[in-house]
A and B are shown apart, each in its own frame.
Chain A
Amino acid sequence: MAVPVEATEAGARAATERLELETIELRLLLEGVFRHYGYDFREYALASLRRRVWRRVNAEGLGSITALTDCVLHDEACMARLMRDLSINVTAMFRDPHFYLAFAEKVIPQLRTYPFTRIWVAGCATGEEVYSLAIMLAEHDLYDKTRIYATDINELVLEQAREGVYPYERIREYTENYVRAGGRRDFSEYYVAAYGNALIDSRLRENVVWAQHNLAQDASFNEFNVILCRNVLIYFDKSLQNRVHRLFYESLERFGTLCLGNKESIRFSSHEDCYEELDAEARLYRRVT
């Protein structure tokens, strides 16, 4: 057990100075990673980033963030390990089943009135949400008149998404989610099992356009009826979040729908007044201005 910490004014001042210095080191690491490798984490939520960076510092057996910067800039393998720590891709097919139930109830009826629907899945990671959406649209006879634009900043995960191959051990979880999400058929109709993997039915890919897109830097590339961006903004700091909200606002047609993650609310963003709430719990918002 470490020596117990005691409160003293001088101690607090020294600790605050060390913390400020550490913040400078963290900023320098992110700047270096951006300039040398092009990955931009500079506007990610800082507190969680700090913790993940320290985890890598400790795992490498180093003593400071500056030591990690040195390592990362001169050793691509070390950078790859840091990347794995920094890019969290928590996803699953039909994750948050209640979202799909709410989408079917509140958004699908509107989509039926359109001759053609364009949907943008922003930050699609390895594609689980894209295929879930495709399945739901197919079961509501809307897939044939829909195009899904699935984008991510990371080419590697985009490649995985395009392949649509998932570990078979997750299929049970996905099947349970599918049933709770209001799935109307047998989930096994949508994949083929092979060599410990599940290969998603290629028909679910036919109307999907995959593309690399950087939410932090790239402009709007189309006008959409629906934008789905779930559990991506949560990793960004406030200013980047607001920039992305502006991008979404400019990319969404009037009365189009924005779908956010479970714990993401339009309320604390710069575009709060541009939307009305379609479903509070499922975080469905309709653009009204």
Chain B
Amino acid sequence: MANTYTLISSNVLSSSAASVTFSAIPATYTDLVLRITSRETVTQNSIILALNGDSATNYSRTILLGTGSAAVSARESSQTSLIALYDEDASFTANTFNSMEIYIPSYTASQNKPIGIIGVSENNATLARMCDTAGLWRNTASLNQIVLSKTGSNFVSGSSFYLYGIKSS
């Protein structure tokens, strides 16, 4: 039986970049998995996810966030993009990158798309982040483009982005 967890595309940054784009994503898989390690150039900035260039208020999320000293839950509705990870921070311990997995099931289905995200930025310091996100993209179009960006910051050189496709048959 064929292996069904297949690398579609990857991008390991050789210089800092404000965004990373995966475009022309084929519709031949069932689910998508995006695995990221990254760090940013300024303090307390978030990773933003935009799909198919959609900047309408079609994104929402419910999060479960642990900071090392507290656990909280929060929600954002009708947003123009999806925050994938809070406060990735240039002040974190040097040479420490956050890790994140974004799972998008049934990405070609003509229905709203649930999105599961887990992101962590443990850095052997008092402040850290573990953010578990239930995202929703209220768009019935087949997903063919993913853009990850920073708000007022850049991903540093060495940040890596791997997009995989999973087939159910």
Q: Do A and B bind each other?
A: no
